[in-house]
Amino acid sequence: MKDAITNMNFDDNDKHREWRYKNSYSPIGLINCYLDGIFDKRATQELGRWKSSEEMSIDDKKIKEANENCISTYLYKSSQMINLSLKKGSEEYAEICKMCIHMFTSQEECLNNSVNIVWNGAVIMTPVLYMKYDSRDLKKNEGMIINYPVTYIFSKLLTNLIVLILHNKYDITYISNTLQNLFIHELSNNLSNLSKGHGLFDEQMSLYTDSLNNIFDQIPNNNKTINVLDHFTYFEAYLDRAQMINTKLLFLSKHQYWTQKRRATRRKSLLSVFYKLNSYKSMDDHIKDIYNFVYTNYATIEGLKSIYNDEKKILYTKEEEDFRLYYVRNAPLIKNHCSLYIVTAISWFLNQVNINMYDNNKDVLTIFRDKFSSENINKIIKSIYIYKDFYEKTVINVCLQAVEDVIKIVDSTMLSHANKEVKLLKNNLTFSNLIRSMELILLQSKINSISKEEDQPNDDDHDMAISYELKSNENLICLMKQLSKEMEFYASSLKSDYFKKPIKENYNNFKTNVPYISHEAELYFCTLPGRYFVNRIFSTDILHLINMQFQ
């Protein structure tokens, strides 16, 4: 069978030793499945109780039953393998393949794609369960793995903080292309959102549009004649030129506006004043639209500059020690990484809850508190680092705090949902419903905050604490929306079988175009740089974990 994809273990004897991260392909080591339900005690093999109860066709019912049997067999047989011999374990493995055969093109495909999991010194091998892409290319055997342990996803993402690999040529090309596409998309989108027809300002807008299109046309032309690194450095020039034509539009439209205003005051004829009254009112509306457009562009360009400068800092950090110190000096960067990692793990957890990978006899809040306990999170994070250097302790402390802050907010929201304090469209708790609950709670908190300000004397310290808490919650909501949007787009491309329904329902394509300016650090994930950050981590790290090409 295929070499191990993931290996997990935590030896009780290691409790009093120094925590150390071990290579994920090592036959021994890594960490226990703290966040998962695969080894939870089950008295008997239980069939899943799917959350959906709507009318289904006969074919859909058959697929539903096949998937229920597949998951329940996978959980039961996997837990049985712990105490079995290699031969008996192979028989259990084959039984899983038999019950999950509808997910594979052949028995051999099931046997050749496996996950190795180590539990308290015992190594077991289970099949990789996955949903295939809906592709016209029948030879393209690719899809999303649905049974990767939550612990594995979280721990693998965390290791990105200590890999510390400098950008290579591929990274620079990816960053350059992404920034260029983002530059064109965002400014084009701002332009398309501007109302058509600008009256007296048509000439100024036409001049701006032509200048912007000239910049867009130069980008692919320059890419053909300069090397990859220059693509990156040229980007700053594109930003400067966009800023220049934006400022020019502001100046010309302002000049045109006041010129027309002065002409209006010189008119003596009452008839002329009435005749021009409507056109001047339209002029006021047009100048407002143009000013909003200009300042939206300023915010967009500032956001792109912030992204560019962050990437440049890493790109030009040549020495590894300098790179490590860069992490120490940038605690917000560690916080942003770890916040995204734990949110990804929580979304994956809810994915597996809704396909019955956890104990059906427990409610989601109970399972969440059991799995995402402070003790478990500490063990996972600290297992990835070696306590030797100051910078590593700094990374751990900042990361732990960021993760625990997210878990605290999510726990509170789940509690409100369990107590029916938040009314949702559906009863089952999905990642998208969790986000909607958080939005409703945030809105209510803002209303309560305003009411308290009106009823009570000013308390600056108390008001600042409330403001910080509300912003933290809003920032987390923006992060979760960005991830949900990425995952929903990815899940939409999977083949339409019963697993797709609960997985796709877990995510939603939320609107994320919130006009926050780039330097609002407390609302980082509500800004353009925050959106770019999530997209990049999803494309380079998260997607790499959950997507796989099969033999």
pLDDT in tens, 493-507: 888 777 888 888 899
Please tell me the distance from the alpha carbon of residue 208 to that of residue 246, in angstroms, as a whole number: 7
Q: Are 53 and 417 in contact (CB under 8 A)?
A: no
Per-residue pLDDT, averaged over 50-65, amounts to: 68
> Residue 339 pLDDT > 50, yes or no?
yes
Domain residues of the chain, as ranges? 12-147, 169-315, 326-549
- Integer-rounded Cα radius of gyration of the chain: 28
Please give the mean pLDDT across all residues of the chain.
79
CATH number for the domain whose boundaries are 169-315: 1.20.58
pLDDT in tens, 440-488: 999 988 888 777 665 565 655 555 666 778 899 999 999 999 999 999 9
**What distances in angstroms separate CA 190 from CA 132, 184, 269, 494, one per listed residue?**
36, 10, 40, 32
Q: Are 384 and 159 in contact (CB under 8 A)?
A: yes
Please tell me the distance from the alpha carbon of residue 157 to that of residue 337, in angstroms, as a whole number: 9
List the alpha helices (DSSP H) in 330-459: 331-353, 364-371, 374-382, 390-418, 431-455
Please tell me the distance from the alpha carbon of residue 318 to that of residue 129, in angstroms, as a whole number: 41
Please tell me the distance from the alpha carbon of residue 257 to that of residue 286, in angstroms, as a whole number: 10
Q: pLDDT band at 48, cuts 50/70/90?
A: very low
The pLDDT of residue 350 is 96
CA atoms within 13 A on the CB side of 313: 14
The pLDDT of residue 300 is 92
Query: In the chain, pLDDT over 90 holds for what percent of residues?
Result: 34
> Residue 184 pLDDT > 70, yes or no?
yes
Q: Which range in 18-22, 210-214, 519-523 is most confidently predicted, on average pLDDT?
A: 210-214
Residue 71 CB-density burial (10 A; 0-12 exposed, 13-18 middle, 19+ buried):
buried
Residue 544 CB-density burial (10 A; 0-12 exposed, 13-18 middle, 19+ buried):
exposed
pLDDT in tens, 243-299: 999 999 999 999 988 887 776 665 545 445 555 555 566 788 889 999 999 999 999
Please tell me the distance from the alpha carbon of residue 30 to that of residue 14, in angstroms, as a whole number: 11
Q: Are strands 547-549 and 122-127 parallel, antiparallel or unpaired?
A: unpaired
List the alpha helices (DSSP H) in 316-363: 320-329, 331-353
pLDDT in tens, 404-422: 999 999 999 999 887 776 6
The pLDDT of residue 469 is 83
**Pseudo-torsion of CA 421, 425, 427, 433, nearest 10°?**
-80
Residues 6+ apart with CB under 8 A from 152: 6, 8, 33
Q: What is the pTM of this model?
A: 0.85
pLDDT in tens, 84-126: 776 788 889 999 999 999 888 888 889 888 887 766 666 788 8
Which two tokens mark 432?
């998208």
Query: Is the sign of the CA dihedral 39, 41, 46, 52 positive or negative?
Result: negative
Which two tokens mark 481?
């929306």
Residue positions counted in the chain: 551
Q: pLDDT band at 324, cuts 50/70/90?
A: low
Residues 6+ apart with CB under 8 A from 294: 246, 249, 250, 253
Among 1-5, 53-57, 529-533, the least confident range: 1-5
Q: pLDDT band at 196, cuts 50/70/90?
A: confident
